[in-house]
């Protein structure tokens, strides 16, 4: 599933094409994905000007001049793909729409943005922009890990008394918004913390030290265009390449990258997800 860096990469790719532009026509080609689309979604989007493309956690937020915001979740395999004219670049003609092209934004500037989702775990919803923070998908989220509200004092307090493994705590979207399995594994390796350690029993200095590591890992991944393992592509169709920088994720049985460490990367399953770590470097 796309995590914060992948969604942020998509947002950045879409912004030059969609922000301050008019959706000439929205085409909705099925009744819904993970759940039904909002009533009259095509009509509500057609003719609207996009005032801002934002992101909250793993959700794209498309603010419209109609006073509504389109919330987009890419699910497991969703992609937002651009074809046509965009920001001074000229691409080939729009290709024929495919089976899994479910929502199409025909932009007034000549670009076409297509939401493709083969597994159909993605989702879209519309809500009043001024009520966005109270939306059921948004109100449960913790602070953004790259935002000012996320700091060492906050994380220490959030983990206080927690008896869950640190890996599970970091994946809790109510504590930190946007972290997923890949980046939590990478963060814990850099921090030297074993993924099964109880969050509430880790020294406060080590908990506070997670904050800059989380920021570094996410920032590096965003600059690399995210991680392309199966489905993720940037809005222009290019692959992300942060997967080439993985130090533990997906490297079971390979030697640890730490100089002088002879251990192999191990894999365990926590809450149904694979965790990769070095037993020698992570304590």
Active-site positions read 2-3, 58, 273
Which among 134, 213, 223 has a CA at the least distance from the CA of 176? 213
> What whole-number distance in Å separates Cα of residue 80 and Cα of residue 232?
10
Q: 78 and 122 in contact (C-beta within 8 Å)?
A: yes
Instruction: Confirm if 83 and 91 have CB atoms less than 8 A apart.
Output: yes
How buried is 25 (Cβ within 10 angstroms: 0-12 exposed, 13-18 middle, 19+ buried)?
Answer: middle
CA atoms within 13 A on the CB side of 106: 11
Angle of helix 204-223 versus helix 4-18 axis, rounded to 10: 40
């Amino acid at each position: 599933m796309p995590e914060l860096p992948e969604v942020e990469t998509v947002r950045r790719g879409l912004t030059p094409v969609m922000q301050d532009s008019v959706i000439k026509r929205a085409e909705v080609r099925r009744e819904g994905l993970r759940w039904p689309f909002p009533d009259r979604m095509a009509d509500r989007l057609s003719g609207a000007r996009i005032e801002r493309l934002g992101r909250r956690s793993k959700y794209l937020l498309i603010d419209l001049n109609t006073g509504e915001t389109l919330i987009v979740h890419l699910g497991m395999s969703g992609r937002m793909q651009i074809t046509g004219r965009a920001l001074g670049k000229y691409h080939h003609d729009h290709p024929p729409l495919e089976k899994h092209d479910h929502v199409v934004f025909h932009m007034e500037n000549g670009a076409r943005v297509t939401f493709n989702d083969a597994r159909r775990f993605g989702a879209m919803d519309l809500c009043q922009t001024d009520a966005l923070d109270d939306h059921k998908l948004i109100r449960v989220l913790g602070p953004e890990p790259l935002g000012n509200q996320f700091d060492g004092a906050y994380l220490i307090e959030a983990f206080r008394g927690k008896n869950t493994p640190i890996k599970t705590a970091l994946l809790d979207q109510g504590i930190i918004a946007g972290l997923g399995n890949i980046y939590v594994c990478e963060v814990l390796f850099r921090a030297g913390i074993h993924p099964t350690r109880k969050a509430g029993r880790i020294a406060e200095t080590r908990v506070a030290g997670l904050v800059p590591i989380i920021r570094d890992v996410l920032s590096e991944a965003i600059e690399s265009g995210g991680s392309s393992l199966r489905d993720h592509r940037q809005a222009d169709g290019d692959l992300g390449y942060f997967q080439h920088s993985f130090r533990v994720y997906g490297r079971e049985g390979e030697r640890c990258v730490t100089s002088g460490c002879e251990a192999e990367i191990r894999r365990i399953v926590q809450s149904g997800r694979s965790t990769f770590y070095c037993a020698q470097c992570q304590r």
